Chain A
Amino acid sequence: MEFKDYYKIMGVARDATQDEIKRAYRKLARKYHPDVSKEPDAEVRFKEIGEAYEVLKDPEKRAAYDQLGTSWQSGQEFQPPPGWNQGFEFHDGGFAHADASQFSSFFEALFGNRFNTNRRYRDEGFDMRGNDTHAKISIDIQDAYLGSVRTITLQHTELGPDGRPQVKTRKLNVRIPKGVHQGQLIRLAGQGSPGIGKHNAGDLYLEIAFNPHPFYKIEGKDVLLELPVTPWELALGRVVKVPTPTGMVDLKLPPGTQSGRKLRLKERGIPSKPPGDLYVILQIVLPSADSEQAKGLYEEMERKLAFNPRSKLGV
């Protein structure tokens, strides 16, 4: 397992005061909160910060962690020394903010995976129907266009017979609803936690994210595609082939369009109700003057076209 430098993760000095640690945590948590942040690795960072804070905010855990010494580097192969935390007594009642099962194996090795079943918002009623559960899944953009069936693997933690948490894995074949887009929730009735006795199981809610695609970008239900074109295709307004998630289409370029311009292919985005649009962003690619013929053509343009793209700059 890899050593984790909690001070480095929080961006504080090893002798930082508890107040400094708290301030650093609040700032980072706001920056990387998955509901707020647009950073691509926000979720990973947020978990890391949560884990670091779990240790550093608690003077007992922090002192035990400090015992490991200063010679460790982040990412270094690590095994806790035998009996490293002897003489430390931990008093805290659990993890108020974080789901302990999400913490790294480094954290587990040091502080144990003390399973915490007290959820802050747990309904205290006598409803024996199974709980609703939530998970996130990543799908391909084509799945949202076609409504394909995907096999998803879910993991959850259950308390084993020895009272220790066990990770259980299950696979489900899910028909992805056509037109679903980023951040939406889909509901799978009866796939949550099992009910007690003859009561129904809860529902499973899945939050949708898209796997990165080599050339499509997704914004809401709109899809963006950067399309390389030649200068003459743009200048002359030629018809070019454009790949869309449902197949090739022919696109007539408006003559004289400049590079960087976005063209909208109406309702060719994700087929929601109403459907999104597909935006084609035109990018001019210049052929290089690497042959006598290419060089000659460029020189001919230079001689015959009185073209100054910098006239607006006064040069």
Chain B
Amino acid sequence: MIVNQNIIDAVIVEEGVELTLDELSRACAVNAEWIVTLVDEGILEPLDIAANPWRFNGICLRRVRIIQHLQQDLEVNLAGAALALQLLEEIDSLQLRITALEAHVKGS
């Protein structure tokens, strides 16, 4: 058993973390070319497409991992995985709106 007594600080990736193309591909253990494909397909957007190197919002890490899992586990192609991701994100945002709306509906 390896025990590290120091307190390790963690940062929330989705909030304020920016990842370079290199960092993003390393975090998902994929080739940078594959990330470029995701950008070409309109699945990911760099913060500034003209910048070099590209930088991505931390939210992109989660999106890449979901695409990866869907492709590996369900054998869907890239377009199918991208569509599923988009629908999953829509469900999440609808779920939050439902919770908020229910608070405004009287006697519900």
Contacts and interface: CB of A to CB of B under 8 A. Distances in A.
Given A119-B29, A224-B99, A273-B15, A258 B1 contact: no
Which of B8, B66, B70, B107 has the most A CB atoms < 10 Å from its CB? B8
Given A123-B29, A184-B14, A173 B6 contact: yes
A277 B97 CA distance: 12
A233 to B, nearest CB: 16
Nearest to B81: A35
B99 A175 contact: no
Interface in B1-44: 1-15, 17, 25-31, 34
Contact of B74 (A33, A131, A176, A224): A33
Contact of B4 (A123, A169, A172, A272): A172
A263 interface: yes
B62 A185 contact: yes
Contact of A121 (B5, B8, B28): B28
A22 B92 CA distance: 30
A146 interface: no
Contacts of A177: 10-12
A268 interface: no
Q: Chain B interface residue count: which class?
A: 35 or more
A52 B34 CA distance: 31
Nearest to A169: B1
Which of A119, A179, A205 has the most B CB atoms < 10 Å from its CB? A205
Nearest to A191: B8
A91 interface: no
A36 B88 contact: yes
B68 interface: yes
Contact of A174 (B7, B74, B100): B7
B67 to A, nearest CB: 9
Contacts of A46: 73
B61 interface: yes
A220 B8 contact: no
A33 B69 contact: yes
5 contacts: A120-B72, A187-B11, A188-B8, A206-B10, A279-B103
Interface of A: 26, 29-30, 33-36, 46, 50, 97, 119-124, 127, 129, 131-132, 134, 149, 168-177, 179-180, 183-188, 191, 202-203, 205-206, 219-220, 222, 224, 257-258, 260-264, 272-273, 277, 279
Given A120-B72, A184-B14, A273-B15, 10 more contacts: A119-B29, A123-B25, A171-B1, A171-B4, A172-B4, A172-B8, A173-B6, A177-B10, A179-B12, A185-B12
Kindly list the 5 A-B residue pairs having the minimum CB-CB distance in the complex, ordered from nearest.
A170-B2, A258-B107, A186-B10, A262-B103, A185-B13
